[in-house]
Structures are given as C-alpha cells and as structure tokens.
Amino acid sequence: MFDGLMQPTHLLFVLVIALIVLGPKRLPEAGRGLGEAIRGFKESISETAASSDERPPDAE
C-alpha cells in the first residue's frame, strides 16, 4: 500500500503544497519548528530507554 511513498516526486509535491499553504516567509519557521519537535521526541525516547535500562527488575 505504501510502496514508493518517499519518492522524490512525492516529496516535491508535498513541498509545493506546503509553500502554497504557508507561504515563503512562514515555511522556514515551520521547518525549524518541525525539526525541534522531532529532536525533542528523539531525546525523550532515548531518555526513556536509558531510564528503563538502569531500573532494576521488579521483585514479585
């Protein structure tokens, strides 16, 4: 179903639609915000994985 979803033509189409919707002035701001959100998500995932590795197993 999702074969070839990330082809260059699809990415170009998404960028053109984003440019039309957001405009040339707000597009870099939106990209920056998206990058910060992804970076924060990755950091929280790695912190969660690190804390679960350090936690001793529960004794039942």
**CA dihedral angle for residue 10, residue 13, residue 25, residue 23, rounded to 10 degrees:** -140
Q: What does the mean pLDDT of the chain come to?
A: 84
The percent of residues above 70 in pLDDT, for the chain, comes to 83
pLDDT of residue 7: 86
**Per-residue pLDDT tens digits for 24-43:** 999 899 999 999 999 999 99
pTM (2 d.p.): 0.59
Q: How many residues does the chain have?
A: 60
Report the C-alpha gap between 32 and 39 in whole angstroms. Answer: 11
Report the C-alpha gap between 54 and 41 in whole angstroms. Answer: 20
